[in-house]
Amino acid sequence: MAAAETQRVNPDSVGKPTVIVDDLYVTYRVMGPKPAGAKNDGASALSRLLTRKNAPGLREIKAIQGVTFVANHGDAIGIVGRNGSGKSTLLRAIAGLLPPEKGTVFTDCQPSLLGVNAALINSLSGEQNIVLGGLAMGMTPTQVRENFDSIVDFAGIGSFVELPMNAYSSGMSARLRFAIAASVSHDVLLIDEALATGDAEFRRKSEERIRALRDQAGTVFLVSHSLGVIRETCNRAIWLDAGAMKMDGDVNEVLDAYEAIVEK
């Protein structure tokens, strides 16, 4: 399996490439039912290892199949498709969390992946997670202090900031994740359904922040089942179907075509 490669691109101005995905394939291997009579002993496992054969019942799922595109500074790209179409897998591959089976991902920086499962430490308070998250994203301690109140306000968690994260609802946790990540300008920000758990006010603030990140010549990728959010925040959309790229282009053209198929 080929390792993910990263090539540094020098983006001197808006419009320069930030992410290049070239003929990308990502394959998952999962255990399925074992055939009747299949052995499950150490000798059989050693034999398969030496001969590089898959274990009985091991299935390959081709999550991404031959996807190619270039993202530029200033792009906000919505990723759409049915459940299981490979949207989250594509983001994880761009972030360098999944190695390609074939093809390459080039980036001009380390992309920041924000999702509903983004790691925060549940046993620590919101305050402690804001400090650790800010430092992890490259803030200085002074910058963390300067941004602390605005992060709490953006997340709308109030006095809950003093409580451990395991006392938060899933919506509060997701809002805090987004608020921490959005407090820093990112060259490439990957957002996976992080806006789905907020109320109307939080979604409005989040959409405004995504537009601000885009205007700052960053690149934003957004996976969301809310086509309205994508229309409001993105200038471009990529439609995935069964891991393959169905369409890439102007956000309204792609979403109109996607909705026409979904409504059938």
Nearest 5°: the CA angle 199, 135, 218 is 60
- pLDDT score for 9: 37
- In whole angstroms, what is the distance from residue 169 CA to residue 243 CA? 32
Q: Is residue 204 part of a domain?
A: yes
Tens digit of each residue's pLDDT (9 = 90 or more) over 75-113: 999 999 999 999 999 999 999 989 999 999 999 888 888
What lies within 8 Å, CB to CB, of 37 at 6+ separation is none
**How many structural domains is the chain composed of?**
1
Average pLDDT, stretch 157-178? 90
**Which is more confidently placed, 185 or 144?**
144
Average pLDDT, stretch 108-136? 83
Q: How many residues does the chain have?
A: 264
β partners of residue 72: 17
Instruction: Look up the CATH number of the domain holding residue 61.
Output: 3.40.50.300
Query: DSSP of 203-248, one letter per residue?
Result: HHHHHHHHHHHHHTT-EEEEE-S-HHHHHHH-SEEEEEETTEEEEE
Q: Is residue 74 part of a domain?
A: yes
Q: Is residue 58 part of a domain?
A: yes
- In whole angstroms, what is the distance from residue 179 CA to residue 176 CA? 5
pLDDT at 199 over 80: no
Q: Is residue 152 part of a domain?
A: no
- pLDDT score for 5: 38
pLDDT at 164 over 70: yes
Q: Is residue 116 part of a domain?
A: no
Taken in order 155, 156, 157, 159, the sign of the CA dihedral is positive
pTM value surpassing 0.95? no
CB 9 within 8 A of CB 16: yes
Angle, helices 170-182 vs 200-215, to 10°: value is: 20
Q: Is residue 194 part of a domain?
A: yes
Q: Which two tokens stand for residue 61?
A: 């799922």
Q: Is residue 95 part of a domain?
A: yes
- pLDDT score for 191: 87
Q: Is residue 140 part of a domain?
A: no
- Residue 58: give the domain boundaries: 17-111+186-262
- Percent of the chain beyond pLDDT 90? 47
